[in-house]
Amino acid sequence: MTYIGQTKRKLKTRINEHKNQINRKTNNLTVITEHKLNNGHEFKWDDIRIIDREKYLDKRSISKMLHIKLQKNIINLQTDTEFLHHIM
């Protein structure tokens, strides 16, 4: 399974946030946390790649939506791509 995300911060910071979210007891679960808790799958934290770089949020969001649509086994919610048709 694949997860596509975007951040303007350092990748290591964002990865640590995802890891910490898995270990917290909270009702506000991310897609990654839900997938881990519901399916017991481990993520390959050492096998994370940057697939695009863009400093502007709107362009990062478009890139994220396109990369989500190109994946087959993805855990991202379809709401992550709900505005893609407005820009096509």
How confident is the model over 63-85, as pLDDT tens digits?
988 898 888 888 888 776 776 77
Residue 62's SS3 state is helix
- 5 in any annotated domain: no
- 55 in any annotated domain: yes
Q: Determine the average pLDDT of the residues in 45-71.
A: 91
Distance, C-alpha 76 to centroid of its chain: 6
Residue 54's SS3 state is coil
pLDDT number for residue 26: 72
71 is in which domain, residue-wise?
Answer: 11-87
- 6 in any annotated domain: no
Residue 2's SS3 state is strand
pTM for this one? 0.75
Q: How many domains does the chain fold into? A: 1
